[in-house]
Chains A and B, each alone.
Chain A
Amino acid sequence: MLVSYEWLSQYVDLEGITPEDIAEELNRTGIEVEVIYTRDPGVSGVAVGEVLFVEPHPKADRLKVCSVNVGKGQLLQIVCGAKNVAKGQRVPVALVGAKLPGGVHIKKAKLRDVYSHGMICSAKELGFPDKVLMKEQTEGILVLEPDAPIGMDIKEYLGMNDQVIELQLTPNRSDCLGMWGVAHEVAAIFDRELRLPVIHDQVPMDGGLSEEVRIVVESDEDCPFYTAQVVKNLKVGASPQWMQNRLISAGIRPINNIVDITNYVMLETGQPLHAFDYSKIKGGQIVVRRATENEKVVTLDNVERVCDPDMLLITDRENPLGVAGVMGGASSEVTPETTEILLESAFFDPMVVRQTSRKLGLRSEANIRFEKGVDPEQIIPALYRAVQLLCQLCGGIVASNAEVEKVGDVEDVIIDLRHERLVNLLGIQISQEEVMDIFRRLGFPATLEDDIYEVRVPSRRPDIMLEVDLIEEVARLYGYDRIPATLLWGQQTPGGLTKSQKMRRTVRHLLRELGLNEVFTYSLTSEQAEQEIASLHEGIRPIRLAMPMSNEHAVLRTTLLTQLIKAAAYNVNHGNGHVKIFEVGKVYLSDEELLTCLPEERFELAALITGKKTPTIWKSTWSDGHDFFVMKGILDSVFERFGLRDVEYQAAQLEGFHPGRTAVCIMNGEVIGVLGQLHPKLAKRYDLDEPVVFQLDLESLLDRDIDIMYHPIPRYPAVTRDLAMTVDINMPAGLLEAGIREVAGELLESVDLFDVFTGAQIGEGKKSVAYSLVYRAPDRTLTDEEVQEAHHKIVKHLAEFYGAELRQ
């Protein structure tokens, strides 16, 4: 809502109150002020002038030489290039020394040997935006009304000294969609007198009531209140400048006096009005009904709208005259030839209006107001007010009664407010006198008895329905800044994080310490990306949005990897070559084609590394595939942190992964994670260099309790023996290690792989692996014989079952 300071000052005594004061106090009491701006874009030295003569320019066909009277006996010769300049016009004249928006300074000039002492201005040159101009004003010079006072400063004449306060209204404050409502609010805040215009109960009737309007409302629910009145003898023309100025301040384009009056009264009262050309209404009757399927209406903007039975139409039974509360029809539009109109003022169901405007993609000043529910008490006054203006300004004569079709009467809302409740809920000390004074300022009649206020809420404030709503009214005028800050009172609570929350924190901090950067990515991804890579979960379908904004964000992810890959690609594209990132987030799982219940949401952890290699950790000719083992080390650190010693890795083949460099992590027979290099085809698509990833289901780690039991520190020395052997090149090291552990017995304390290599000296199809084995007994120093026996058993077992040959 755009509020003109000049306009507002007509209704509230603003003596000593600046627009900035208003903005600050509105903000403080609950109406957000977006911005205050002046209508003046930087114009000075421009006055109203009268074109006395127009002569052709002697040397230029397109230019004209005008004599312009700018008052005080000053007659100026001005060269003008506009086609529309004509003798007798009143026009804005930028005098020598004038300033115009965009840094234009007017100087005495010579145009093709003819002196020009100023410039006749267009609306654009005065800084008017196109959206508030009539079409004919967007080209050529701006032609003013014939009664524009010669010599008057143009800013005064065009209302450009006005300041506009832009309100950002919350949906509950529909009362401030009208100037009178804003006036009520401002008067209450500053405790100033309100001076609203007097509306005559019924307008005087000069020409007798020649017309009778019949109103038929087919559904009371759609339209519980409809009034209309016919006005004749109208003369369509421009509305007076003061009205145009106010409309422009409110951001509305002046059109003609009739339409302008309906808009003006809407801006005053908040009640949208519509004027139909009465001669286009057949049979003098208005039928408010639902549209039939595919019924077509051409609206005022000359677009054919296809309607359905959810939409409400204003018709003359056969032909639609407009879409109720949204936009009038072209067929009954007020034109320059119109002499008689039917003026409508009504209440349309907010839901119906809202749905209709959405379906048609039409937003208008009217439907913004109808959607919030207009004030029923304002429907008839608004009609009268507009008729009054039509008679005053357009020569109108009332030609019918104001016909009213209405269901029931609006009952006054009376709410009891307990003083104790008010004080307790706000935590303030406020006197009953102060509360009563706040209601007086708000214009809410109130009485006080037994510490209970009985408050009558005016119909302009439909947002106030409950005791608590009144408490808010009192609080905001009392001042939120006067509410004290106190500590939480009552029973103490321990507070804290749950096990799952702690675990997610731990895992994040661990990965940070391990050198990875945490990312936050979008949960919505593309269907195509979802298909590129395997999720940890089988038999699920990605959940699709009903109306995605783009294909890129159309389905909910079932794996974190799609977005990690995108984040990595973004970084590589931006020159960040070495990427090590992770995310802790949810995946959304459902096996339903169409959701009937909420999906399962599970927390997962995923990580990705790609780019420049870090230095190798163990010496090896096998440096290829190095990042896989870096990642595996990171994953093992996670398992170690959560006390999981029984996770097994098994080679696996999965969508999107390198078939020879991928493993699933298995715990208790369940797959809880995947570790692997991305398939080269997928990596290439995102321009990533051998990216290695893992994804891990965090929830399955949660079942474990991390109990630490102390083991005594060994008192007896350990014996270390190395074991180097050649095995088949495809023999998994994991199997060998399992084999060692299988037969080693209790004396074996640890097994560590320290070398793997292939080469000519080992022989074709073979590799060398070397382990360091540590033996120890808890209760004695081991003898050479004991160690030898255990070690020999291992060597024998490996030779027998794994084809291992001892290397010397």
Chain B
Amino acid sequence: MRERLEALKGEAVLVIGRAQSLDELRETKIKYLGKKGELTRVLRGMGSLPPEERPVIGSLANDIRGCLDQMIAEKEKQLEEASLLEQLHKEVIDVTLPGIKPESGTLHPLQLIIEQVEDIFVGMGFEIAEGPEVETDQYNFEALNLPKGHPARDMQDSFYINPEILLRTHTSSVQIRTLIEKEGSVPVRIICPGKVYRRDDDDATHSHQFTQIEGLVVDRGVSMSELNGVLLTLIEKMFGEGTEMRLRPSYFPFTEPSLEVDIFHPEQGWVEILGAGMVHPRVLENTGYNPERYTGFAFGIGVERIAMLKYGIDDIRHFYNNDLRFLRQFKTV
């Protein structure tokens, strides 16, 4: 019986080793180790053995079973590995084929600039104010120290609807509205993005409609050095650390002292990007703030100007033609 068992083991080992597939292996397992398998069949003859041999043969049979089980398990693992490898091999794809993208759109480049500037100033504790685009002459000019007939009105030729109502020529009118609304309280820290309108023929550098961002700070003891600091923060965040900036004296009726800000552009040299200044005492008076007690600064950023510089755009009309070949270039920002 021992011989038969050993022979059976030898045979089974060979068959297991030759198995080519998991199915074959499973059949082999049933054939030798199953309930009606070869091993069982051999063991059925146990009854004819002398009682003292029975435990020895039983133990041998168990060893054989255990050994074959283990071999089968190992072979199974091998075959599974092989099958997986084959599957992986079959599933190879060209990973350099293009991806299938969900269609994605774009924000307008002017909106991108507005949001960047808003975020910079919100980070500095500014609120975002808004005001009407159809404005009174009073708020657009008079209260900003630009009485009727003031020569500086020539700087901003306007679209009037009637003698008292016009399309605002700058977002500075929101300075007036904000200060009146705040009723003399401080600190005032706002920026105001918005559309403005001037009687200009549309060409590469002019647009009858364009976009400004106004800024205003009023508080006790506000100085020009703080204006300088705020502008420097803005410029560095918009154009990168180390961007050179210079302040030049200029003239606006609603600020005194007034200034213009240039940045150094690697190709274009010094380029003007915004106007600013200390709020004119008459503007404070006109809105109920005592200029002896409070001072402030204001600035006006040309959004198109910034976008043109930042993105290298050469014609302001691109912003309003809305050619998709233009707009789609702003996907990455």
Contact = CB atoms under 8 A, between A and B. Distances in A.
Given A495-B121, A567-B322, A601 B228 contact: no
Interface string B165-179: 101000000000000
A580 B189 contact: no
Given A523-B209, A546-B161, A574 B225 contact: no
B165 A425 contact: no
Contacts of B228: 427, 483-486
Interface string A575-591: 01001111000101000
Contacts of B150: 171
Given A485-B232, A523-B197, A545-B160, 20 more contacts: A171-B151, A172-B251, A424-B295, A425-B295, A485-B229, A487-B229, A490-B221, A492-B125, A493-B187, A497-B118, A513-B105, A517-B322, A518-B111, A520-B322, A521-B320, A521-B322, A524-B197, A547-B160, A574-B325, A580-B105
B241 to A, nearest CB: 14
A518 B108 contact: yes
Interface stretch (B44-52, B58-66, B90-98, B132-140): B132-140
B324 A576 contact: yes
Interface of B: 102-108, 110-111, 115, 118, 121-128, 130, 132-136, 149-152, 154-155, 159-162, 165, 167, 186-187, 189, 195, 197, 199, 201, 208-209, 211, 217, 219-226, 228-232, 246-251, 256-259, 278, 280-281, 295, 319-325, 327-328
A497 B322 contact: no
Contacts of B219: 489-491
Contacts of A545: 159-161, 167
Nearest to A493: B125
B106 A486 contact: no
A586 B281 contact: no
Given A350-B149, A520-B108, A495 B250 contact: no
Given A472-B258, A488-B125, A371 B249 contact: no
A380 to B, nearest CB: 25
A341 interface: no
Q: Which 8 A-B pairs have the closest CB atoms?
A: A427-B225, A30-B249, A427-B223, A515-B103, A170-B251, A472-B257, A476-B249, A171-B151
Contacts of A498: 127-128
B223 to A, nearest CB: 3
A427 B248 contact: no
B122 A472 contact: no
A659 B133 CA distance: 35
Nearest to A546: B160
A595 B151 contact: no
Given A171-B154, A424-B221, A468-B256, A546 B122 contact: no
A493 B226 contact: no
B9 to A, nearest CB: 52
Contact of A518 (B107, B161, B249, B251): B107
A706 interface: no
B289 to A, nearest CB: 14
A505 B199 CA distance: 30
Contacts of B280: 468
Contacts, number: 246
Contact of B249 (A29, A425, A580): A29
Contact of B322 (A511, A514, A516, A570): A570
B321 A354 contact: no
A730 interface: no
B251 A493 contact: no
Contacts of B189: 488, 493, 495
Contact of B248 (A27, A466, A497, A515): A27
B107 A509 contact: yes
Contacts of A594: 162
A505 B251 contact: no
A413 B128 CA distance: 41
15 contacts: A425-B223, A426-B257, A428-B225, A471-B257, A480-B249, A496-B127, A518-B327, A520-B108, A523-B197, A546-B162, A547-B160, A553-B208, A567-B322, A570-B321, A576-B323
B151 A350 contact: yes
A28 B108 contact: no
A479 to B, nearest CB: 9
Contacts of B259: 480
A570 B324 CA distance: 10
Contact of A483 (B102, B130, B247, B328): B247
Given A518-B111, A520-B322, A586 B133 contact: yes
Contact of A469 (B121, B195, B256, B295): B256
A499 B208 CA distance: 30
B257 A488 contact: no
A598 B278 contact: no
Of the listed residues A351, A371, A576, the one surrounded by the most CB atoms of chain B closer than 10 A to its CB is A576
Most A CB contacts (10 A, CB to CB) among B108, B258, B321 go to: B108
A488 B161 contact: no
A314 to B, nearest CB: 22
Contact of B124 (A472, A495, A595): A495
A339 to B, nearest CB: 39
A472 B249 contact: yes
A509 B219 CA distance: 35
B248 A472 contact: no
A755 B146 CA distance: 66
Interface string A336-366: 0000000000000011001100000000000
Contacts of B281: 466, 468
A100 B225 CA distance: 53
Given A171-B251, A495-B123, A556-B134, A520 B225 contact: no
Given A491-B187, A513-B104, A522-B320, A171 B155 contact: yes
A779 B93 CA distance: 48
Given A424-B221, A476-B257, A493-B189, A571 B111 contact: no
A733 interface: no
A785 interface: no
A133 to B, nearest CB: 30
Contact of A426 (B115, B165, B223): B223
A425 B278 contact: yes
B248 A426 contact: no
Contacts of A355: 149
Most buried by A among B135, B221, B225, B322: B322
A713 interface: no
A598 B160 CA distance: 12
A520 B108 CA distance: 7
Given A28-B248, A171-B151, A488 B230 contact: yes
A475 B324 CA distance: 48
A435 interface: no
A30 B247 contact: no
A441 interface: no
Interface string A417-428: 000000011111
A627 to B, nearest CB: 14
A511 B105 contact: yes
A543 interface: yes
Given A30-B249, A599-B134, A468 B257 contact: yes
Contact of A480 (B118, B201, B247, B320): B247
A614 interface: yes
A468 B217 contact: no
A496 B104 CA distance: 28
B239 to A, nearest CB: 15
Contacts of B256: 466, 468-469, 471-472
A588 B151 contact: no
Contacts of B211: 520
A519 interface: yes
B224 A426 contact: yes
B322 A581 contact: yes
Interface string A151-164: 00000000000000
B250 A170 contact: yes
A515 B246 contact: no
A511 to B, nearest CB: 6
A459 B150 CA distance: 19
